[in-house]
Amino acid sequence: MLKKIDSLLLRSFIGPFVVSFGIALLVLLLQFLWLYIDEIAGKGVSIIVLLELIAYQSISFFPLALPIGVILASVMVMGNLAERYELSSLKSAGVSLLRVMASLIVVSAGIAVFSYVCSDYIMPISNLKARTRLFDIRKQKPALSIEENVFNEDFRQFVIRVGEKRKDGEIIENIMIEDQTSSNRMNMNKILADSGEMYTTGDNRFFVMNLYRGTQYQAPKAENTSQRKQNFPFVRTNFSSWEKVWDMREFDLNLTDEDRFKEQRSMLSMKQLRGNMDSLSSMMDRGKQTLADEMLLNIKRLPHKPIGTPPPKSSSAPQQVKEDINSISERMKQQALLAQQHQQGSNERAKAIVPLQKLDKTIGEYPDFLSTFDTIWYTRLKAESFQKIKIFATSIESHEREVDIRKKEFVKTAYEYYTKYTFALVCFLFIFIGAPMGAIIRKGGFGYPILVSIVYFVVFVLLTIMCRKLAESYLMTPFWAAMVPCLILIPVGALLTYKAMHDSPVFNLDRFSWLLEKFRKQKKA
């Protein structure tokens, strides 16, 4: 009996799942096409290329459409069972709700595994193919379209205007062609014709225009400065027939090398994402170490003050301190004397570089270290100090920006990695939300099930977007940002399953009846 129940549920589940999955995939695909319709339409791209783009992009939407199919199909199946009182009969026969859901749980687990495999192995390839095809179409020139009384600039450096076209699309009248070729030696090179015909060759390689009864107007221009003041004749040439051929290769779709987009996050497998995460983590550590080394190299520490009880405020310092100051002063005077002697035997360049300290007083009598130098050196050293401070600050900001860029890229890469698990896990969790909700609402078909499914899926998508923003703002780690939506759905699924197993309503309004009654009385009063 139980095997028949499992077979019945599987047959009832597969149909709605395929339909709902197809509808979700179609909606996501239409959203994509609506976003890029202006850049795809009118490019003259073959139907094969468009179908290829749609196929690759559809595969990219699989992980997002699979959860919708699971929750919608499970609500419909269990809703139909409950609506026809078949679920009540099974419960009265001693079959629990979880046993009835067993086959659906196994199927949802298989769908979750497929979602994981698709995210890890199939999606990177499909994303790469779809991105490359979309890039090729977006950079493709629009298809050649000669409209009446419209200046067409599809051909490079040629402007074409047709006054009237016959119904066959080939016979044309009142034609104007202006040659704007940069290599042309004419200030003006324009052709006007009464009538003509236009067509493409059989292999679609060339576009031909045969013009009849027209005139070509040319105004030569000076080739150098000496010819600018000279007058050149205005040339007018009448013709009975004139032919112009354009190459159509510039309208062909040129395929871009796929290696150009191969390193983007959505084109990488989980193994490659892990490798990028390790590389980014190492680069962040090296950047932080470089920043610390840079700061330690440039920061000049002040002399340490002695630890202990501060000396009393008096005009006379302790004898030991005076001796230390005098000894330091004597040593600095000796160093200054040696420097002066060394400067006397050196060249003028050395004299200009080595600063001299005056040291005509003890060290304690100077307000700061720079005051120990002559005025000339004081100004120069102060300017050099400010310049070094600016350079140091710029270097620190550069290192900080580099570390911040690596950190942002690490967060996005890690979030991309963990969401591959999230979309697989949610396929399994939605069966514990959809099936109990179907048993509770006791409605089948596409009415209530679609409403319930959309509500829960929208909540999941909103949680996903919110957590991603929090991760990019460094308020959450990428792991928890990816897993929090699933963690929130787990207690929801457990509560709904418990309520459905015990045939209890989700919200018991009887507990709040006294509040409603009190509100009614206050309203009447």
Q: What is residue 505's predicted lDDT score, i.e. its pLDDT?
A: 63
Residue 348 pLDDT greater than 50, yes or no: no
C-alpha distances in angstroms, 476 versus 204, 275, 281, 415, 489? Answer: 57, 22, 17, 11, 18
Domain ranges, ordered by start, for the chain: 2-140+418-461+491-514, 158-251, 271-301+319-394
Region 225-236: mean pLDDT is 64
Q: What is residue 509's predicted lDDT score, i.e. its pLDDT?
A: 46
Region 404-413: mean pLDDT is 90
pTM: 0.66
Cβ atoms 74, 438 nearer than 8 A: yes
Where does the pLDDT of residue 471 fall: very low under 50, low under 70, confident under 90, or very high at 90 and above? Answer: very high
199, containing H or E segment: strand 186-200
The Cα–Cα gap between 163 and 152 comes to 12
Q: Which residue has the higher pLDDT, 136 or 111?
A: 111
The Cα–Cα gap between 406 and 389 comes to 26
Give the orientation angle of helix 431-441 with respect to helix 102-117, to 10 degrees. 140
Q: What is residue 350's predicted lDDT score, i.e. its pLDDT?
A: 40
Cβ atoms 101, 37 nearer than 8 A: no
3-state helix, strand, coil in the chain (%, to 5): 65, 10, 25
